[in-house]
């Protein structure tokens, strides 16, 4: 299904290629969740198969985690009612400022209770993400066809479907390492896949401040973890995302090349040897095998 809000770096466009390589793992981890573009694009399965799978996603941004908790647990009609608002420059600036003041409070609530969420913050957040064009939230897009501003979209029906999809998904809040370590441990006995899409290094030239919780260093830590874990847990299926040349990977890894929607940036996804390898790939992506 479509993501609830636009997100810089989302992999919705290449999610099918990711799932072709992951197959149907019984355990799936996505610690840099963002708008959950990869999870929400997972192919539909039979009910019997769904009962035997575990999906754990997370993000270090409390606003993102709060939204998905609300999307999973709240009344879809209430969330739709608060999120249904016309595009307005003044409201965008006011709501963006207000959301920033809620971070400490949200952080404490999310950490203290696994079922806690704030509905108003969730609704304002998904609306802001859907109408803004700048990273600072100071410029509005009045006719954007995405997120909760998607044209001719029944918001109640959409949030109802989203809640159903997230019903058995674990929403984690915090650092990526907790989910990464869990994935490595589970892979010793089970079919496990992990999607690692950290903020790209500043050294690649990408814009700084793209995310509320941003870092130019975390990609390096993830890269080192990936290389070490692939050796000690060779059955773990790993996808690591980055820009071309950002990560030097062993020759047995598959390098998957694709372009962003605007075609200006060449991106890569590196798949561990345990992932299924494909011979042919449809445009607009291509496969590079060393």
Burial class of 234 by CB neighbour count within 10 A (0 to 12, 13 to 18, 19+): exposed
Q: Among all chains, which residue has been given the structure tokens 């899409």?
A: 197
- Topology (CATH) of 1-60+174-290: Rossmann fold (3.40.50)
Report pLDDT digits (tens) over 48-76. 566 679 999 999 999 999 999 999 999 99
Report pLDDT digits (tens) over 205-237. 666 666 667 665 789 999 999 999 999 999 999
Q: How confident is the model at residue 112 (pLDDT cuts 50, 70, 90)?
A: very high
Cβ atoms < 10 Å from Cβ of 112: 8
- Structural element, H or E, at residue 289: strand 285-289
- Structural element, H or E, at residue 225: helix 218-232
Is pLDDT of 244 > 50? yes
Report pLDDT digits (tens) over 127-182. 999 998 765 566 887 767 789 988 889 999 999 999 999 999 999 999 999 999 99
176-186 vs 218-232: helix crossing angle, rounded to 10: 10
Q: Please, are residues 185 and 72 in contact by the beta-carbon 8 Å criterion?
A: no
Predicted pLDDT of residue 282 = 45
- How many alpha carbons lie under 13 Å from residue 28 in its C-beta half-sphere? 26
Query: What percentage of the chain exceeds 90 in pLDDT?
Result: 70
pTM greater than the 0.85 cutoff: yes
Give the start-to-end residue ranges of the domains of the chain.
1-60+174-290, 61-167
Report pLDDT digits (tens) over 245-284. 889 999 999 999 988 766 566 899 999 999 987 655 444 4
């Amino acid at each position: 299904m479509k993501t609830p809000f636009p997100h810089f770096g989302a992999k919705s466009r290449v999610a099918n290629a990711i799932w072709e390589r992951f197959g149907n793992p019984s355990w799936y981890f996505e610690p840099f969740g963002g708008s959950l573009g990869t999870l929400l694009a997972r192919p539909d399965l039979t009910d019997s198969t769904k009962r035997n799978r575990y999906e754990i996603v997370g993000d270090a941004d409390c606003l993102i985690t709060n939204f998905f908790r609300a999307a999973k647990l709240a009344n879809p009609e209430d969330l739709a009612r608060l999120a249904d608002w016309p595009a307005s420059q003044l409201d965008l600036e006011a709501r963006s400022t207000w959301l920033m003041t809620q971070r400490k409070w949200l952080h404490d609530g999310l950490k203290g209770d696994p079922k806690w969420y704030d509905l108003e913050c969730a609704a304002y957040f998904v609306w802001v993400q859907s109408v803004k064009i700048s990273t600072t939230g100071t410029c509005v897009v009045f006719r954007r066809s995405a997120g909760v501003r998607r044209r001719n979209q029944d918001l109640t029906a959409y949030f109802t479907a989203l809640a159903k999809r997230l019903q058995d998904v674990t929403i984690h809040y915090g650092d990526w390492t907790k989910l990464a370590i869990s994935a490595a441990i589970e892979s010793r006995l089970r079919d496990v896949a992990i999607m690692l899409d950290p903020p790209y290094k500043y050294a690649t030239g990408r814009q700084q401040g793209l995310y509320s919780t941003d870092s130019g260093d975390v990609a390096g830590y993830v890269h080192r973890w990936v290389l070490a874990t692939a050796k000690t847990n060779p059955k773990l299926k790993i996808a690591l995302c980055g820009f071309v040349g950002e990560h030097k990977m062993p020759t047995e890894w598959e390098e998957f090349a694709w372009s962003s929607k605007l075609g200006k940036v060449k991106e890569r996804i590196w798949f561990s040897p345990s992932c299924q390898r494909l011979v042919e790939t449809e445009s607009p992506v291509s496969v590079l095998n060393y």
